[in-house]
């Protein structure tokens, strides 16, 4: 498949900074054939949206069909470049191994085509990979007519070969009989050594005691290490072995002739064989990407037409894999940047997760634009960026006499030259490396310049002036990594909306710095600066408490809604049972009264006399009963105007992406998944499942 246009300014430094090179190595290890390994090593993210979407959908289809239990083959095959090259040369002859490879590839392709054709579910992307291929049994039958199940040339591959092999079998029998007679004679004469016989130069020889070797008719083939035993081919076997060699030479010539004829036959199928190489290697590359998706718990996000991203329950794939092996929980991140909020400035304590949050954005974006599924909720949305520009880590160079700050200034100069509206900037510890006051001022200017270019970005910093500038610019916004001031432990959760404290003194306390030293340090700072930092910390603490209370209230409201719905269902059931019981009692009483009345009529009936009056009375009674029953039936029908009009919640309109509201409250949320009447809703950072009839559709 034609590669997509690569993103701008992608190089080994970008791959290393965001650990994309580690993902490439994992892909190479998971590849099934050499072509896939090379493609993994040369993989470059693309800015071509159609290429990205096609590759993501291919990977997703392969992951689903491999898990679907539809008999998808293992794609175990050998590549056919050598065979294709030889078939293109006139009068060339393929060897036995080449035919085995071609037959295996043909069988695998036939299996692929059969699964795709017989599946109830469409697989458009995989079908496009093998478009133009048709099942081919003729090629396999031609090869199977020459080779057996073990890959050996069949005896009946040709009449000539069959005759030659019969002669070889007969010659071997003659040689065996002659050898046994000669060995028997040597044994009777006492010439045979204890080991009796052996093989020398691929020939069967008698083991003769060396002192008797001149008394035995035959050809000496060798002797033991000590010289005490001489290996002799019996004279009667020599002409028979010569004949056997001639027959073997005839066999080789006939096999060569058979393979030549088979090659000529197979050459007619060269276009199909090229299709096997092209289709199967492409399928293996897709399968390699799906194997990585399985290893990293990857899923398919939605791809926007405009740059930006909205990641839900996203994980750094390498961190998640490492933590999973160590039995450590990895916390998910929820991150969104779009045209109206395009630069996120993350602040907070060291070791609080700022850098890993930023790297998560960068690595997932590189993987998505490489056609790789990523660990996030499938309701996530991502756009396509023309360039991804990271500045991460310490890149000082002793050889080039380049300090960290000089290196970062060089990177910043590069970013100011190439960044644009479709660029994603990832700047770690923005502005550090120089005098805090002077470096902070220069960093603020850089920040404004990048902002004016319309770029997207995620920036981590400790500089207060960068946080303040982000708060004032309409399309930039602050975020902070949460920190528990009571336990003095980072929470590794991003909260958007306000800058965070660096918790410098709290982190120092965690690392065992004496309290008196911390107090001395506070005394050297402007009192207002210490108070501001403390205020930010307190604000985070209060906001964290509020978030917990909000989530607790939301959970309580949801539980109350469920309890109310359950109680209403129980009440409706009990009311229905009560109505049924009353109706049955009424019917029973009516039947009893009617039965009593009819019994009176029967008692008054006089046999053999005129009962005309009684009959008229019975008719009148029956007419009244019928009229009364009709009236009851009429009253039982519900009127069209009766009943209170119920509000239209439009719950049937709820789909993934809808904005909804709880019927029992005012909380609004986004629908991230729909499974029948079970709706998964994100209320802020709180995700829960709600019944459809508990929600109101808004838009």
Give the span between the Cα atoms of 509 and 485, in whole angstroms: 11
Same fold, 157-247 and 649-699: no
Q: Where are the beta strands (DSSP E) in 235-322?
A: 302-303, 309-314
CA distances (Å), 499 to each of 346, 434, 465, 684, in order? Answer: 7, 22, 11, 19
Cα dihedral 164→166→168→171 (10° resolution): -130
- Which residues face 426 on adjacent strands? 390, 458
Rounded-to-integer distance, Cα 330 and Cα 13, Å: 27
Is 288:27 a contact under the CB 8 Å cutoff? Answer: yes
Question: According to CATH, what is the number of the domain 649-699?
Answer: 2.30.30.30
**What is residue 533's predicted lDDT score, i.e. its pLDDT?**
58
| CATH number for region 302-524 | 3.40.50.300
Residue closest to 272 by CA, chosen among 96, 138, 471: 138
Q: Which pLDDT value is given to residue 202?
A: 82
The pLDDT score that the predictor gives to residue 354 is 84
CA distance 291 to 30: 7
Look at the domain 12-136+269-296 and name its fold: MutS, DNA mismatch repair protein; Chain A, domain 3 (1.10.1420)
Q: Are 15 and 21 in contact (CB under 8 A)?
A: yes
3 state SS of 492: strand
Q: Which residues of 108-133 are buried (b: 16+ CB within 10 A; e: fewer)?
A: bbbbbbebbeebeeebebbbebbeeb
Longest Cα separation, the chain: 149
Using only C-alpha atoms, the chain has a radius of gyration, in whole angstroms, of: 43
Half-sphere exposure of 6 (CA within 13 A, CB side): 7
What's the whole-model pTM score?
Answer: 0.70
Contact 443, 466 (CB under 8 A): yes
Tokens of 398: 């002793």
Q: Which helix (H) or strand (E) holds 459?
A: strand 456-460
Q: How far is CA 534 from the centre of its chain?
A: 44
Rounded to an integer, what distance in angstroms lies between the CA atom of residue 26 and that of residue 17? 17
Give the contacts of 523 (CB within 8 A, at least 6 positions apart). Answer: none
- Averages of pLDDT over runs of 10 residues in the chain (699 residues) are 84 92 96 94 95 96 88 89 93 93 94 92 93 92 92 92 95 94 90 88 88 90 89 92 94 95 94 94 96 95 93 92 89 91 86 83 96 94 95 56 68 91 90 63 88 94 84 90 62 70 57 68 56 56 62 71 76 77 72 74 68 74 76 60 59 85 74 85 72 83
Q: What is the CATH number of domain 157-247?
A: 1.10.1420.10
**480: nearest Cα among 537, 395, 553, 547:** 537
- For residues 182 and 218, give the distance between their C-alpha atoms in angstroms, rounded to a whole number: 10
- Per the DSSP assignment, residues forming a β-bridge with 496 are 479
pLDDT at 26: 96
Q: What is the pLDDT of residue 341?
A: 92
Kindly list the domain boundaries of the chain, sorted by start residue: 12-136+269-296, 157-247, 302-524, 544-603+614-623, 649-699
The residues, any chain, with a CB within 8 Å of residue 489's CB and separated by 6 or more, are 483, 510
**Residue 541 corresponds to which tokens in the numbers above?**
């603490």
Q: Decide if 230 contacts 213 (C-beta within 8 A).
A: yes
Give the span between the Cα atoms of 699 and 696, in whole angstroms: 10
Would you say the C-alpha torsion 495, 346, 481, 18 has a positive or negative sign?
Answer: positive
């Amino acid at each position: 498949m034609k590669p997509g246009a690569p993103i701008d300014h992608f190089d080994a430094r970008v791959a290393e900074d965001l650990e994309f090179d580690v993902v490439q190595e994992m892909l190479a290890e998971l590849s099934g054939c050499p072509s896939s390994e090379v493609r993994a090593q040369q993989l470059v993210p693309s800015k071509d949206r159609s290429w990205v979407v096609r590759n993501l959908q291919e990977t997703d289809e392969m992951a689903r069909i491999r898990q679907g239990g539809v008999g998808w083959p293992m794609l175990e095959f050998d590549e056919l470049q050598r065979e294709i090259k030889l078939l293109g040369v006139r009068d060339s002859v393929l060897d036995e191994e080449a035919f085995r490879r071609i037959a295996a590839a043909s069988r695998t392709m036939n299996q692929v085509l059969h699964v795709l054709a017989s599946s109830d579910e469409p697989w458009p992307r995989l079908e496009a990979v093998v478009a133009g291929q048709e099942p081919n049994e003729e090629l396999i039958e031609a090869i199977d007519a020459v080779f057996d199940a073990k890959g050996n040339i069949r005896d009946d591959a040709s009449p000539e070969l069959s005759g030659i092999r019969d002669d070889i079998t007969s010659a071997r029998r003659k040689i065996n009989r002659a050898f046994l007679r000669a060995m028997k004679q040597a044994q009777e004469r006492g010439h045979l050594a204890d080991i009796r016989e052996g093989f020398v130069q691929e020939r069967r020889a008698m083991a003769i005691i060396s002192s008797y070797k001149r008394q035995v008719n035959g050809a000496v083939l060798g002797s033991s290490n000590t010289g005490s035993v001489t290996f002799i081919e019996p004279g009667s076997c020599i002409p028979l072995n010569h004949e056997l060699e001639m027959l073997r030479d005839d066999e080789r010539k006939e096999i060569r002739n058979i393979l030549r004829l088979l090659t000529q036959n197979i050459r007619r199928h060269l276009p199909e064989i090229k299709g096997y190489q092209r289709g199967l290697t492409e399928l293996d590359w897709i399968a390699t990407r799906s194997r990585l998706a399985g290893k990293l718990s990857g899923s398919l996000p939605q791809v926007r037409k405009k740059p930006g991203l909205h990641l839900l329950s996203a994980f750094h794939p390498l961190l998640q894999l490492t933590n999973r092996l160590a039995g450590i929980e990895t916390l998910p991140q929820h991150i969104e940047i779009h045209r109206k909020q395009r630069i996120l400035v993350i602040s907070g304590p060291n070791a609080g997760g700022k850098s890993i949050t930023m790297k998560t954005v960068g690595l997932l974006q590189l993987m998505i634009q490489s056609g790789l599924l990523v660990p996030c909720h499938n309701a996530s949305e991502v756009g396509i960026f023309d360039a991804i520009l990271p500045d991460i880590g310490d890149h000082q160079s002793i050889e080039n006499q380049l300090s960290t700050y000089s290196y970062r200034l060089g990177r910043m100069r590069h970013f100011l030259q190439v960044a644009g509206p479709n660029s994603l900037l990832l700047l770690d510890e923005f502005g550090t490396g120089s005098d805090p006051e002077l470096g902070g001022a220069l960093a603020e200017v850089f920040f404004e310049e990048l902002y004016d270019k319309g770029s997207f970005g995620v920036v981590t910093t400790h500089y207060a002036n960068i946080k303040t500038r982000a708060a004032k610019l309409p399309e930039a916004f602050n975020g902070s990594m949460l920190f528990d001031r009571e336990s003095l432990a980072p929470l590794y959760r991003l909260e958007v909306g306000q800058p965070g404290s660096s918790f410098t003194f709290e982190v120092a306390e965690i690392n065992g710095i004496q309290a008196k030293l911390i107090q001395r340090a506070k005394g050297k700072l402007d009192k207002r600066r210490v108070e501001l930092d403390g205020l930010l910390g307190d604000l985070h603490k209060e906001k964290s408490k509020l978030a917990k209370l909000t989530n607790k209230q939301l959970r309580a409201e949801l539980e109350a809604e469920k309890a109310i719905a359950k109680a209403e269902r129980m009440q409706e059931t009990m009311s229905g049972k009560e109505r049924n019981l009353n109706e049955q009692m009424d019917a029973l009483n009516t039947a009893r009264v009617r039965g009593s009345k009819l019994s009176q009529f029967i008692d008054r009936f006089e046999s053999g006399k005129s009962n005309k009056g009684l009959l008229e009375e019975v008719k009148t009674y029956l007419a009244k009963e019928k009229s009364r029953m009709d009236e009851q039936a009429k009253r039982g029908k519900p009127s069209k105007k009766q009943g209170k009009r119920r509000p239209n919640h439009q719950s049937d309109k709820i789909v993934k992406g809808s904005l909804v509201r709880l019927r029992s409250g005012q909380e609004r949320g986004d629908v991230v998944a729909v499974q029948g009447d079970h709706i998964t809703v994100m209320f802020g950072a709180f995700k829960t499942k709600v019944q459809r009839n508990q929600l109101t559709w808004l838009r």
